[in-house]
């Protein structure tokens, strides 16, 4: 070992000085870029947070609703009907059903509101002055149907008193929750003054309580009983359409992509197809709605507002996404794998289905779920095929009339009872968002699990 330390030649020293001179500027540029990135992210996340906070703030109160707990007496004076038909020997099913229906119609004709009114008056403070019409604005109009159902299911309650929980009307709920300004004069209030006072009294005595608003999930939409309006019909409609999209778009989309990528001879024609598919992905969704209305409703005469028609329109919208994603995934498979399969003597089809597809499966799955999640939130095309109609039934088949979640939100947003439906709309938005977030989370989870295994 010598004592000398290393002395670099002159040009090396000059080079190092030159590099060092530029370093400060380069590091500064890097820092600026990093800071800009962070600012952009903070802004974007900030807006998203604002949106979520707003929706949550408005929507969470809607998950609780005012309920009225009453002792209802099934007064035989009001309930004047024949006894319920019993099944006799030798009676056929049809005969029994006809008899039963006849009896039920009789029951329906009764004035159940009087029973409700009696129960309300019994619960009200002694000598409270309120007329029938006013007191009946407190429960929701479907209260009489609830009570009638109890009797129909168990006619032995005749003459007895039962404790029943009924939905309070939308206006009652607004007053109880404080969604309407108490200082407004009588002319601007929805409820009469005695009704309002009674509601406060009921609240104090615990007759009116806030309970979980199951009606949101278990009821269909309703215009006559706004407090009972729920999302069930819309949920089922959306589920039917999702099912149709998955069953149709995935095989057709994946199959087309495989054919275009692997088997079609490369020519001007296939290039044209590729360009068109890419463009289709950017077409506004309302155009698909027009297409659906013209082709599916007018030419094919599919039932208006049916999930089948809606599902077909959404399939058309999702197809380009799936085709493009699948083609990209197929292109990403290493040629070494394809060569290995072909070298073994596999035919093209065997190579694609035995080797290429299994490798691309996670990507295709992710693309499918994202495509379906997007389709779930589409509103414009569904409006054009008639789903903006008011539908008060759960679609049992895809060809019955139905509506979809985003459309339901749109309809509720237009309801005149703003004080009640503002919150309910936000709650529906939360349900839709929860759906989409769940689907995306499943996509991410599945993809990471499958990629780890690959």
Partner 1 sequence: MDMLAGKVKMTTQTLDAAMDAAMNPAANPAALIEHPIRLTARDVTVHYGSKQALHGISIDIPDRAVTAFIGPSGCGKSTFLRCINRMNDTIEGARVGGRIELDGEDIYAPDLDVVELRARVGMVFQKPNPFPKSIYDNVAYGPRIHGLARNKTDLDEIVVNSLRKAGLFEEVKDRLAEPGTGLSGGQQQRLCIARAIAVGPEVILMDEPCSALDPIATAIIEELIDELRTNYTIVIVTHSMQQAARVSQKTAFFHLGNLIEKGDTEDIFTNPVNKQTQDYIMGRIG
Which residues would be at the binding site for partner 1 (CB under 8 A)? 266, 334, 336-347, 350, 354-355, 358-359, 454
Q: Which is nearer to partner 1, 10 or 336 (CB)?
A: 336
User: Minimum Å distance from CB 96 to partner 1?
Assistant: 60
Q: Which is nearer to partner 1, 8 or 454 (CB)?
A: 454
User: Minimum Å distance from CB 254 to partner 1?
Assistant: 19
Q: Which is nearer to partner 1, 215 or 360 (CB)?
A: 360
User: Minimum Å distance from CB 448 to partner 1?
Assistant: 17
User: Minimum Å distance from CB 356 to partner 1?
Assistant: 11
Q: Which is nearer to partner 1, 27 or 354 (CB)?
A: 354
Cα(170)–Cα(176) distance, rounded to whole angstroms?
10
Q: Which is nearer to partner 1, 54 or 271 (CB)?
A: 271
Q: Which is nearer to partner 1, 327 or 355 (CB)?
A: 355
User: Minimum Å distance from CB 349 to partner 1?
Assistant: 11
Q: Which is nearer to partner 1, 127 or 345 (CB)?
A: 345
User: Minimum Å distance from CB 309 to partner 1?
Assistant: 42
Q: Which is nearer to partner 1, 96 or 361 (CB)?
A: 361
Residues 68 and 165 sit within 8 Å (Cβ to Cβ) = yes
User: Minimum Å distance from CB 355 to partner 1?
Assistant: 6
User: Minimum Å distance from CB 424 to partner 1?
Assistant: 51
């Amino acid at each position: 070992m010598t004592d000398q330390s290393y002395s670099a030649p002159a040009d090396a020293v000059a080079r190092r000085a030159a590099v060092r001179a530029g370093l400060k500027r380069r590091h500064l540029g890097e820092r600026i870029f990093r800071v800009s990135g962070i600012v952009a992210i903070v802004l974007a996340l900030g807006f998203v947070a604002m949106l979520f906070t707003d929706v949550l703030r408005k929507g969470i109160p809607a998950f609780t609703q005012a309920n009225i707990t009453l002792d209802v007496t099934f007064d035989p004076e009001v309930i004047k009907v024949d006894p319920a038909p019993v099944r006799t020997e030798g009676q056929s099913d049809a005969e029994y059903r006809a008899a039963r229906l006849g009896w039920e119609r009789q029951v329906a004709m009764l004035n159940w509101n009087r029973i409700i009114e009696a129960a309300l008056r019994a619960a009200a403070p002694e000598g409270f002055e309120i007329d029938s019409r006013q007191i009946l604005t407190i429960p929701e109009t479907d209260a009489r149907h609830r009570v009638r159902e109890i009797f129909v299911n168990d006619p032995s309650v005749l003459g007895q008193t039962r404790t029943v929980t009924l939905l309070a009307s939308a206006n009652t709920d607004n007053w109880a929750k404080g969604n309407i300004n108490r200082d407004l004069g009588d002319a601007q209030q929805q409820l009469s003054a005695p009704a309002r006072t009674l509601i406060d009294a009921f609240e104090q005595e615990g007759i009116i309580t806030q309970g979980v608003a199951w009606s949101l999930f278990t009821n269909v939409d309703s215009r006559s009983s706004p407090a009972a309006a729920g999302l069930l019909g819309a949920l089922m409609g959306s589920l039917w359409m999702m099912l149709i999209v998955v069953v149709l778009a995935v095989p057709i989309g994946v199959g087309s992509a495989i054919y275009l990528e692997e088997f079609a001879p490369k020519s001007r024609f296939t290039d044209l197809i590729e360009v068109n598919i890419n463009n289709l992905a950017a077409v506004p969704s309302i155009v698909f709605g027009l297409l659906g209305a013209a082709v599916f409703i007018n030419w094919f005469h599919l039932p208006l507002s049916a999930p089948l028609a809606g599902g077909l329109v959404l399939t058309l919208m999702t197809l380009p996404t799936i085709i493009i994603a699948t083609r990209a995934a197929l292109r990403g498979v290493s040629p070494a794998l394809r060569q290995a399969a072909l070298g073994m003597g596999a035919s093209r089809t065997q190579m694609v289905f035995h080797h290429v597809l299994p490798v691309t499966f996670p990507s295709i799955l992710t693309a499918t779920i994202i495509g379906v999640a997007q389709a779930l939130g589409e509103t414009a095309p569904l409006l054009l095929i008639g789903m903006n109609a008011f539908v008060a039934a759960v679609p049992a088949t895809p060809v019955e009339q139905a509506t979809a979640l985003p459309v339901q939100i749109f309809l509720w947003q237009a309801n005149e009872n703003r004080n009640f439906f503002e919150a309910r709309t936000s709650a529906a938005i939360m349900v839709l968002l929860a759906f989409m977030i769940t689907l995306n989370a499943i996509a991410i989870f599945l993809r990471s699990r499958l990629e780890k295994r690959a």
